[in-house]
Amino acid sequence: MELTTFFSKFDQFADAPDAVAKMRDLVLHLAVTGNLVRQNSIEQPADELLVEVRQSRDKLVKDGTIRRVEALPPLTNDDVPFECPAGWAWVRFGEISSSYRGHNPPKSLFKDKPSLGYVRFIQQRDFRTDDYAVYVPESRHLKLVKKGEIVMAAYGNIGNTCRTVEGAFNVAIAKVLEIPPVARDYIDLLIRSDFIRGALEKVSSRVAVSSMSSDHMRSLAVPLPPLAEQKRIVAKVGNLMALCDRLEALGKEKESRLAGIARASLARFADAPTPANLPFLFHPSYAIPPADLRKSILALAVQGKLVPQDPNDEPGEVILQRIHSDYSSKIRANQSEPNDDVVELPFELPKGWSASRLGSILNPKRGISYGVIKLGAEPQQGGVFILRCSNVRFRRIDLHGIRKVTEQLSSEFSRTILEGGEVLINVRGTLGGCAVVPPELKGYNIAREVAVIPVHTEIDPTFLLNVIASPFFQDRVDENLRGIAYEGLNLGLLRDFLIPIPPLAEQHRIVAKVEQLMVLVEALETQLAASRVTAANLLSALVAELTAAHS
């Protein structure tokens, strides 16, 4: 496959992670391996160019522009990964370049505005923006760079280059000089390619703090083309990088456009959540993020906009009256008095709906409680399984990594031994987790960071789960956590939360509809993940085909 074909098929793998970045890497690889422009046999070969380079180096050392360094050992066959094109030569990077680090003056000398006798002090963050510019006094100790010259990151993002800054630079930056007549732009390409940046990243990844070894960089084997070809390569890379820029801009424009369509589709469905408008949520021409779909579905569910109301259903108010009249004395023991600062529902309830505080719709024999405070050592035999916040995920329970406590310890927290049908919510740790306890987990217990909500039989526990998982409820949780050093949800506040109560028959219909839509969302999520994997695999295969064919 030719590179032009590769670019023409960009839309087939544009959704792959870092697609444009990989295209840039491919362009650099092809450039410095001699596969981007044609060779010309009449041009001065690199071997002759190296003679001039050595003469230039001697002159630069003599006039003090660069320092003399120990001679590098000659390359062997084991040092070079492939045979370079005719007219090219393998050299060590230190033969055609020279580099040195910057200097760090005391921070007490820094100024944030230009001043007479001060120069701009370049740090790596200045490669991207001028927002954090600082200035230091002029000094003979400073190392200076002019616009157009090459500086590169020697720590952190190693090999990241910049040629637009001017001033003094710090020790985390290295200035790289080309040895004439080698083209500076070609040196820049080498640094950004796998031959320099890739090799330095591999070495630095083995240490705790990423840093560049100047000696290692000098010793790296790199391909050197004739000078005329260097210039053609640089021009071709410039054109292709400009094409990459356009593709990247088009990709961002497409993402922005589709995001706008997705928001409009969500809004349209929210305004009229009818079966006829359901296709707007799962349209093949755009993908609404699954997380946004889930939020939208749950938000509509708890506002009574997901299924139609039936005037023949027993109203929610009658359900609440029955709960309160049957167990009023016991309920009061489990609930706190309403607080003046508790906000009302932020939406209008449909006809037939009512509202109640969470503490007033519980099993009259049990209240909201959190579980075992300190788990202790896990028993070698027997014991009781215990659900921690890591086990309580978004609308589901994950038994991976579950542990046990002793039966004695569990019995001390008998109020939170699960019977099945309760709703669990994380009140510390991984907040946002909530789930209904399935019958097969009867006898399990919970940890301190999880609270159990034993809901009354007149309330569908999965409907309550959908309320708790909805943005309406989660936003209220976030509001109550503000300003708390160690984030944890107070159970008293939790009991005070207002819960919309539809007729029980409608609760069941809402639960069924939510489950139906969540299955579609999960299928969409799986499809999106698979398409990204397919695009990534296609991109990797195309890159491998091109690099193998031209190496």
pLDDT at residue 227 is higher than 90: yes
pTM of the complete model: 0.61
Confidence class for position 437, pLDDT limits 50, 70, 90: very high
**Which of the residue ranges 2-11, 114-123, 313-322 would you say has the lowest mean pLDDT?**
2-11
Is 232 inside any structural domain? no
CA 254/CA 224 separation, integer angstroms: 40
Domain boundary among 225, 259, 294: 225
pLDDT tens digits along 361-394: 999 888 999 999 999 999 989 999 999 999 999 9
Based on the domain organization, do 272 and 375 belong to the same domain?
no
**Which of the residue ranges 16-25, 145-154, 225-234, 240-249 would you say has the lowest mean pLDDT?**
16-25
Is 127 inside any structural domain? yes
> How many domains is the chain built from?
3
Based on the domain organization, do 263 and 200 belong to the same domain?
no
- Give the CA distances from residue 103 to residues 128, 139, 159, in Å, rounded to whole numbers and listed in that order: 20, 10, 18
For residue 226, say if its preceding peptide bond is cis, omega within 30 degrees of 0. Answer: no
pLDDT at residue 279 is higher than 80: no
DSSP state at residue 70:
P
Based on the domain organization, do 420 and 513 belong to the same domain?
no
Give the pLDDT score at 490: 87
pLDDT tens digits along 329-340: 554 444 444 443
Is 23 inside any structural domain? no
pLDDT at residue 458 is higher than 80: yes
Based on the domain organization, do 390 and 452 belong to the same domain?
yes
Based on the domain organization, do 57 and 191 belong to the same domain?
yes
Based on the domain organization, do 415 and 292 belong to the same domain?
no
Q: What is the mean pLDDT of the chain?
A: 85
Is 373 inside any structural domain? yes
CA 460/CA 172 separation, integer angstroms: 61
Is 152 inside any structural domain? yes
Based on the domain organization, do 431 and 464 belong to the same domain?
yes
Is 37 inside any structural domain? no
Q: Which domain holds residue 264?
A: 1-18+245-307+504-551
Based on the domain organization, do 209 and 92 belong to the same domain?
yes
Percent of the chain with pLDDT over 70: 81
Confidence class for position 199, pLDDT limits 50, 70, 90: confident
Based on the domain organization, do 373 and 280 belong to the same domain?
no
Is 36 inside any structural domain? no
Give phi and psi for 488, each to the nearest 5: -155, 140
Sign of the torsion angle spanned by Cα atoms 363, 369, 371, 372: negative
Based on the domain organization, do 87 and 153 belong to the same domain?
yes
Based on the domain organization, do 55 and 186 belong to the same domain?
yes
pLDDT tens digits along 128-140: 999 999 999 999 8
Give the pLDDT score at 536: 66
Is 278 inside any structural domain? yes
Closest CA to 89 of 50, 42, 54: 50
Based on the domain organization, do 84 and 197 belong to the same domain?
yes
List 176's β-bridge partners, or say none: 99, 150
CATH code, domain with 461: 3.90.220.20
Would you state the structure tokens that stand for residue 240, as one six-digit string?
A: 């292709």
Confidence class for position 530, pLDDT limits 50, 70, 90: confident
pLDDT at residue 283 is higher than 70: no
pLDDT tens digits along 461-495: 999 999 999 998 998 888 877 545 456 788 988 99
